[in-house]
Structures are given as structure tokens and as C-alpha cells.
Amino acid sequence: MKKGYMGVLGVLVVGAMCATALGQGAKPLQLSIWDPVQLVPNNEGVNGLRINFIYGKNTDVNGLDLGLANFTTGDSTALALGIANCVEGGVLGGQFGAINHSGGDLGGVQAGFLNWDEAGVTGGQLGGVNVVRGGVVGWQGSFVNWVEGDVTGYQLGGLNWDAGSVSGIQGGFINGVPNGDVTGVQVGGLNWNGANVSGGQMSAVANINSGDTKALQFAFLANWTEGSSAGVHIAGANLTQNDGTGLAVGAINFAANHTGLQIGVINVARELNGLQIGVLNFIMDTEEWNKFLPIVNASW
């Protein structure tokens, strides 16, 4: 054991002498036990191969980055393999480890238990938890996908939560977009959106939208839209607080003003321009003969 340690130390000493002779630019080889016990000082970069037996630290790294803990204070254009890969700048390439962190933009792939990006991702993340402080153009697969910017692409996870807008596909137990619009498809146990939805929603429980909905919606429990809805809506209950346009099929269908067809046990519209088929059919704001009719009701 002692001989092995002395051998590694000897390699470091010889390498350090060679590195000094090469000058102050980025070095082609880095061997590190624990910063500062390493060939290339931590205020210089590596252009080639870096091997960190325990922990290594450098400015920029280009090439192949291997070790238990790989730390870069600048940018990384490399394939990083380690337990922990931490880059304070941007990453162009790949990070594969238990913990992967990028302080700047990520162009490439992160795969690990925790993938954390401080700026934006163009590429993909695969892990237990994916956190992006900016936007994502690409894909995410994780138990938790948390994005503070816009998403263009697709997300697959237990929880997909996006503070910006989503253009693409979300598949998860819970899909939440509290502030931005959704253009695309959501498939989940619960889909909740704070703005407008255009595309399709399928839910085992409910689709809840605070803005307008222009979509094909399906839910076992309910489709709830606080704005206007247009399209095809199928659920136990379809509830639209403003105008509804299209087809609504459910045990209970309600819209403030409905243009189209309602099919259900109970159909309610304040104003109707279309047809109702159900056990109980109500047009609330009319004083005509068809304010309430069983089986079929109509108004144009």
C-alpha cells in the first residue's frame, strides 16, 4: 500500500515538473489526489485528460474528465464521469455522475441522481431529480422535473413543474404549469395550468385550467376551465365558467354560454346555441318554453 502511494506521488512530482516546463497554458494531462496535490494548479486549465483520484479543481476543462469529485471553476467542454461533477461555468458535452451541476448553460446531457443547472438546458437530463433555473430545449426524464423557465420539448416524470410556458409533451403523475401557456399534450394523474391550454389533455383525475382551453380533454373526474373552452371535452364533469364551444360529454356539463352539443345526465347552460341531450337539460337565462326539458333541448 505504501509503495503504491509512493508510486502515485512520484508520478505527480514528475508530472508537475513536466507541466512547469510546458509553460502556463492549458495542460494536456492532469492527475490529482486532492487539490492542491495535483499536477496542474487549480488556477490553470486542462486540454486533454483529467483524472481526479479523489478531488481535483481547475479553471477550464476540455476533453475527458474522470474522478470521484470533478470541480471546474470555468467552462467545461468535456465528457465528465464521476461521483460529483461540478462546473461553475457552462457545459458543452456530458456529465454522468450521482450529482451533476452546471452554473451556466448546458449543451448536452446530464445523467445522475441530481442534475442541477443554473441557467438553461439545450439537450437532455435523466435522473432522480432535475432542476433547471432557466429554460429547457430538449427533454427531461426524472421522478421530479423542476423548471423555472420555458420548456420546448418533452418531460416524463412523477412531477413535472414549469414556471414558464410549455411547448411539447408532459407525461407525469402531476403536471403543473402555474404561470405560462401550454401548447401541446399533457398526460397525467392531475394536470393543472395557470394560463391557456392548446392541444390535448388526458388525466386520471382532473384537468384544471385557469385560462382558456382549446383542446381535446379527457378526465375520469373533471375538466375545469375558468376561462373559455373550445374543442372536445369528456369527463365525469365538464365545467366551464365562461363560453364553451364544441362537444361536451359527461355526467354533468356546465358552461356559461355554450355553442355546440352537450351530452350528459345533467346539462346546464346559461345561454345555449346548439343542442342538449340528457336526462335533465337547462337553459338558465331564457324565459321561453325550453328553459327546462328532459331528453332533448335546443336553442338557436
At 26 the pLDDT is 82
At 289 the pLDDT is 87
**pLDDT, tens digit (0-9, with 9 covering 90-100), for 113-158:** 999 999 999 999 999 999 999 999 999 999 999 999 999 999 999 9
What count of other Cβ atoms lies within 10 Å of the Cβ of residue 6?
10
* Range in 20-24, 113-117, 213-217 with the lowest mean pLDDT: 20-24
Q: What are the b/e assignments for 248-281, b being 16+ CB within 10 Å? A: bbbebbbbbbbbbbbebebbbbeebebbbebebb
CB 110 within 8 A of CB 97: no
- Dihedral of CA atoms 84, 88, 89, 92 in degrees, nearest 10, equals 0
C-alpha grid cell for residue 136? Answer: 429547457
CB 207 within 8 A of CB 226: no
Could you tell me the pTM of the whole model? 0.86
Mean pLDDT of 200-215: 96
d(CA 268, CA 17): 85
Name the band, by pLDDT with cuts 50, 70 and 90, for residue 25. low
